[in-house]
A and B are shown apart, each in its own frame.
Chain A
Amino acid sequence: MNKDTISKMVFFILALSSISALALITGFIFIQGLPLFFKVGFANIVFGTKWAPSQGSFGIFPMIVGSVCVTLGATLLGVPIGVCCSIFLVEYCPASLSNLFRPAIQLLAGIPSVVYGFWGLLFIVPFIRNNLGGPGLSMLAGSMILGIMILPTIISISEVSLKDLPRQYKEGALALGMTHWQAIYSVLLPAARSGITAAIVLGIGRAIGETMAVIMVLGNAVALPESILDPIRTLTTNIGIEMGYATGDHQQALFATGIVLFVIIMILNSFAQYIARRK
């Protein structure tokens, strides 16, 4: 074997190890979680509303609703702010200011999620309790924290897709007598649509998978929420809270929760890739 073949093999094996980690985890989750689906029934788990593992009820529907609601709330808060921020950075911001903005946004991505959760617990939760009522630990608190946490993802990917547009788009639009805002609204944003959509979908994926920060502020009650001030539990927090003491079917039910989460995130990521590739 010559040196080139050897180095090729080394890289191949290292590359393989990263993929095999994915395969191992996926395989493990499915091996652990799938039997319960057959034992209890798919519908009883996914659409069941009663979660009482000690009595044999494993309905995770309230958590699916919880995940969807919290993520939706985070999207409603985070997407407009994030997209507008990226437009500002690319189109309006003087270089001196963007040199301050960009590292700050990167830093936002670097804050550990437990710190977000802690800050939410000490600041957002009492704020909601005192001003809007309810226990404070709520869907709204979770959405606000997640809305902030997805900003770096949305901003940086939208910014890149806006910045990578050929400069002739903007010049062509301005040369037609458009104002700067008209050029942004009717030319640049539509042209960057696929990139911005991908940014939003990846942000949603990040929000739906986040665990630590939301455990601390959601209240974690297993019930279908009636208002945004109600405490709720998500798929991720269900695993996070109960994994310490679950055994037997209960433990399998947590893996089943993981499977549902896994499938949702896979769908979102494939969707993001599909959108990003479509031109």
Chain B
Amino acid sequence: MAKISIKDLKFFYGSNEVIHGISLDIAANEILALIGPANSGITTLLRSINRLYELTPGARMEGEITLDGDDINASSVSITELRRKVGMVFDIPTPLPLSIFDNVAYGPRLSGNTNKQDLMVIVEKSLRLAAVWDDVKDRLSEAASSLSGGQQQRLCIARVLALEPEVILLDRPCSGLDPISTTKLEGSLEELKKDYTIVIAPHNTQQAVRVSDSVAFLLMGDLIEAGPTSEVFVTPKDTRTSDYITGRFG
């Protein structure tokens, strides 16, 4: 069974329909890349999986998204629980105004874990997984804002990992990063997919080729093509897909 199943998803901002009925299955422990030009609905699709779209006034979805077979919009679903299962990393680093340690320990503390030693273990494990432990291990009590942009972004990934989510959504996580940080971050994704299901909006198609197992191409709110990355990039079925990945538009 698919980890996440999207059925006939339509999305509206006010009366403006921005996603026109998308159906897509995301398997467990795979990295799915959502590619497409600007305004294709990629960020909206990501934000509908953890229901963060609800912050936007006038935003509304139709259709169904299930996580492990359960409708995420069901009234029995706790939105805070859902967001702990479906972590999200944003296009710009968003460290909380706290120390490095407290940023990562925040989630576990919220769910009731206050044992100092437990927290230390979780924090170290999360920072290692996010490939930022060596950068910060000697300065855990410093403000998170003192880190470089790349370190902050990996800290944000560590923060999500500390929640022990099942799915991680990454919305152009490398757009503000230098090439070295990008390489490190892509390396940690490879490591992470053993335990997590990852949906990423890469910041270019090359990144999608490098990191993803499967890929979905969106254009103006329609799903044009989806499949294993190797197939879609080598033998795209739709001419619009081949036009996009060969750089003819977008």
Q: Contact residues of A with B, CB < 8 Å?
A: 95, 166, 168-179, 182, 186-187, 190-191, 193
Contact = CB atoms under 8 A, between A and B. Distances in A.
Nearest to A177: B84
Interface string B100-111: 000000110011
B77 interface: no
Contact of B83 (A95, A166, A175, A186): A175
Contacts of A170: 55
Contacts of A175: 50, 52, 83, 87-88, 90, 160
Nearest to B111: A177
Contacts of A191: 97
B80 interface: yes
Contacts of B52: 171, 174-175
B163 A190 contact: no
A168 B90 contact: yes
B91 to A, nearest CB: 8
B97 A187 contact: yes
13 contacts: A168-B92, A171-B52, A171-B55, A174-B55, A176-B83, A176-B84, A176-B106, A178-B80, A178-B110, A179-B80, A186-B96, A187-B96, A193-B97
B112 to A, nearest CB: 12
B177 interface: no
B159 interface: yes
A177 B81 CA distance: 6
Nearest to B106: A176
A169 B96 contact: yes
Interface of B: 50, 52, 55, 57, 80-84, 87-88, 90, 92, 94, 96-98, 106-107, 110-111, 156, 159-160, 163
A176 B97 contact: no
A177 B162 CA distance: 12
Contacts of A193: 97
A95 B57 CA distance: 10
A190 B83 contact: no
Contacts, number: 59
Contact of A182 (B94, B98, B110): B110
Nearest to B50: A175
Given A177-B81, A178-B80, A179-B80, A171 B110 contact: no
Contacts of B156: 172
Contacts of B159: 176
A172 B55 contact: no
A82 B57 CA distance: 26
Nearest to A279: B145
A172 B90 contact: yes
A99 B37 CA distance: 37
B51 to A, nearest CB: 9
B97 A190 contact: yes
B163 A176 contact: yes
Given A168-B92, A172-B90, A177 B163 contact: yes
B98 A190 contact: yes
B101 to A, nearest CB: 15
Nearest to A165: B97
Nearest to B86: A175
Contacts of B57: 95
A196 to B, nearest CB: 13
A209 B57 CA distance: 42
Nearest to B165: A177
A173 B102 CA distance: 13
Nearest to B78: A177
Contacts of A173: 96
Nearest to A175: B88
A176 B110 contact: yes
- Which of B50, B57, B94: most chain A CB closer than 10 A? B94
Given A182-B110, A187-B96, A174 B90 contact: no
B55 A176 contact: no
B96 A174 contact: no
A82 B94 CA distance: 28
A174 B81 CA distance: 11
A102 to B, nearest CB: 17
A88 B52 CA distance: 21
B80 A171 contact: no
Nearest to B83: A177
Given A177-B80, A177-B163, A172 B50 contact: no
Top 10 nearest A-B pairs by Cβ distance?
A172-B94, A177-B84, A168-B94, A175-B88, A177-B83, A177-B80, A191-B97, A190-B97, A176-B107, A187-B96
A242 to B, nearest CB: 49
Contacts of A174: 52, 55, 83
A259 to B, nearest CB: 40
Nearest to A169: B94
Given A175-B52, A176-B107, A190-B97, 9 more contacts: A95-B57, A168-B90, A175-B50, A177-B80, A177-B81, A177-B110, A179-B80, A182-B110, A187-B96
